[in-house]
């Protein structure tokens, strides 16, 4: 797994847990998973392996701030489906629907991915963060955060989140039930880069998800052809979306 170093004012060697702000940690880590105000676009390829069978779906994602438009492109039977994110609200637009339908980010998209996984990550907005401990993974120090949803419109109720102390990148997530049981686990890789504030920073390239109750059930979400983009005013407004 490949990591990159981002230098920031608040992380230094030998800093005690009491001196670390989980909110700042979370906000920094969001940047490399799309949690920025700049316009971005990419292709998401979601490959799922279940019962010896592999399925693949592809989406074109356009994102700016907390807004996003996700258009299904493959397979042919799903082409034309559009998912619209406006802040914490989410709609589905389909050729056979007369008007957009409000949907939940918690609902299954395909495979192990939920609707909310496909767009940008804004965990610093959607969750309260508590710093639990530090833990070594492959000889690298990580902060372990427990995230609890601020509203019932978030993708997950609780998340245990590992953030690399040196790079400030999220490397692992356990998605938890309200009772604290692990439902699925994700591992992140960062082999993309974007320009942000005149600097090149790493951006997520892969999210590997596995079901904790079924070892044969796995999904890989890849982020391909990443570009910075400029969008017109109102481009993400649900009233302007036409199928």
pTM of the model as a whole: 0.88
pLDDT of the residue at 52: 86
Average pLDDT over residues 165-174: 97
Average pLDDT over residues 88-110: 91
Average pLDDT over residues 170-183: 95
Answer whether residue 102 shows pLDDT above 60: yes
pLDDT of the residue at 216: 86
Answer whether residue 189 shows pLDDT above 90: yes
Average pLDDT over residues 87-104: 91
pLDDT grade, residue 197 (50/70/90)?
Answer: confident
Average pLDDT over residues 111-126: 93
Q: Is the separation of the CB atoms in 58 and 73 below 8 Å?
A: yes
Answer whether residue 227 shows pLDDT above 60: yes
Average pLDDT over residues 78-93: 92
DSSP string, the chain: --------TT--TT--GGG--HHHHHHHHHHTTT-SSSEEEEEEEEEEEETTEEEEEEEEEEEETTEEEEEEEESGGGTT-EEEEETTEEEEE-TT-SS-EE--TTSEEETTEEGGGGS---HHHHEEEEEEEEEEETTEEEEEEEEEESSTTSS-SEEEEEEETTT--EEEEEEE-TT--EEEEEEEE--EEEEETTEEEEE--EEEEEESS-TT-EEEEEEEEEEE----TTTT-GGG---
pLDDT of the residue at 93: 94
Average pLDDT over residues 83-105: 91
The domains located in the chain, with CATH, are 19-105+115-228 (2.50.20.10)
What are the residues whose beta carbons fall under 8 Å from the beta carbon of 148, sequence distance 6 or more? 127, 128, 130, 157, 158
pLDDT in tens, 1-52: 443 333 333 333 455 676 789 999 999 999 999 999 999 999 999 999 988 8
Bigger pLDDT: 20 or 159?
A: 159
pLDDT of the residue at 15: 55
pLDDT of the residue at 18: 64
pLDDT of the residue at 200: 94
Average pLDDT, the chain: 90
pLDDT of the residue at 7: 34
pLDDT of the residue at 188: 98
pLDDT of the residue at 243: 57
């Amino acid at each position: 797994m490949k990591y990159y170093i981002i230098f920031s004012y608040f992380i230094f060697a030998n800093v005690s847990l009491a001196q670390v702000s989980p909110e700042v940690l979370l906000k920094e880590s969001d940047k490399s998973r799309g949690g920025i105000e700049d316009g971005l676009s990419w292709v998401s390829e979601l490959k799922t392996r279940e019962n010896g069978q592999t399925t693949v779906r592809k989406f074109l994602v356009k994102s700016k701030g907390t807004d996003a438009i996700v258009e299904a492109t493959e397979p042919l039977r799903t082409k034309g489906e559009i998912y619209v994110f406006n802040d914490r609200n989410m709609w589905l637009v389909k050729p056979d629907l007369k008007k957009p339908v409000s949907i939940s980010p918690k609902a299954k998209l395909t495979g192990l991915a939920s609707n909310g996984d496909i767009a940008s990550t804004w965990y610093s907005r959607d969750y309260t963060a508590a710093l639990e401990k530090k833990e070594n993974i492959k000889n690298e120090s990580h902060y372990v955060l427990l995230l609890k949803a601020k509203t019932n419109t978030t993708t997950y109720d609780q998340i245990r989140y590992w953030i690399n102390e040196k790079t400030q990148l999220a490397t692992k997530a356990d998605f938890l039930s309200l009772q604290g049981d692990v439902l699925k686990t994700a591992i992140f890789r960062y082999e993309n880069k974007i320009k942000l504030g005149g600097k090149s920073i790493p951006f997520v390239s892969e999210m590997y998800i596995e079901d904790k109750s079924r070892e044969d059930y796995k999904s890989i979400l890849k982020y391909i052809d990443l570009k910075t983009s400029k969008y017109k005013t109102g481009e993400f407004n649900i009233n302007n979306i036409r199928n």
